[in-house]
Amino acid sequence: MTRALWAVLWVSVVSCTAVAADGSVEKPEWAAHFARFGATGTIVVVDERQVPSSTLVFNPERSTRRYSPASTFKIPHTLFALDAGVVADEFQVFTWDGVARSFAGHNQDQDLRSAMRASTLWVYQGFARQIGEAGARAYLRRLDYGNADPSASSGDYWVDGNLRISAVEQIAFLRGLYRNTLPFRVEHQRLVKDLMIKEATGDWILRAKTGWEGRYGWWVGWVETAKGPVFFALNIDTPGRLDDLPKREQVVRAVLGSMGLLQKQ
């Protein structure tokens, strides 16, 4: 084989397995999964099925850019509410106020499980009112969550306000939650993880939460396997608004599927 051909092959290998200063590996081939569904964005995957773990990233520049967490914030927000005592447990019922909202699943009494599953905004707006901005700021700083800024001139601070977090930071938060090492009671962390279950088989458990700000959307969570967890945080643009929302799960499932995950027997 000629030196020129060897050089071409070496450049190809390096370009596909470029290792960043933080040890993450860029995955340009995952562009095909985004293209398949017409999506633009980033995904960070931390695979702990082996030691040491590997951090895989598509679009690393965007992976460190902060965005409003939108409804992914319901994960830490539930921890805040439990810690503050504004909700006792998963059985407490929140009575619907009778105001008809655009999503039918919100127009009924709720508990923590249904509020997480249906992403019921009015339940969490109630938590925010009771916790207050100063309380939220203290919790955010304790958690070191994104920019830890719960201020807002109008609307909800986790959607319309100044709170921001990156995909990389979402992963750091999720890894702490998985290990019960966040600065909250272990039983509260275990409850939140239970509320996050989306699917389960005999081989894996998927815990995840979507989020949508209007201009962009999230899907974050992890897959638990016998060999260890695999964490993910996806952020994509949603210019088509509601029509683009299915792309969040579609892209993640395609990426994880290429890694042999979420496959049902």
**With contact defined as beta carbons under 8 Å apart, do 113 and 123 qualify?**
no
What is d(CA 16, CA 26) in angstroms, rounded to the nearest whole number?
A: 7
Determine whether 71 is an active site residue: yes
Burial class (CB within 10 angstroms; exposed 0-12, middle 13-18, buried 19+) of 213:
middle
**With contact defined as beta carbons under 8 Å apart, do 217 and 211 qualify?**
yes
Per annotation, catalytic residue among 24, 63, 68, 71: 71
Q: Please, which residues bridge with residue 227 across strands?
A: none
Q: What is the DSSP string of 152-213?
A: -SSS-TTTTSS--B-HHHHHHHHHHHHTT-SSS-HHHHHHHHHHTEEEE-SSEEEEEEEEE-
- Name the nearest CA neighbour of 59 among 33, 94, 90, 97: 33
- Rounded to whole angstroms, what are the CA distances from 194 to 15, 188, 199, 234? 40, 10, 11, 21
**With contact defined as beta carbons under 8 Å apart, do 49 and 227 qualify?**
yes
Beta strands 228-237; 41-47: pairing state: antiparallel
> What SS3 class is residue 26?
strand
Give the residue numbers annotated as catalytic, written as ranges. Answer: 71
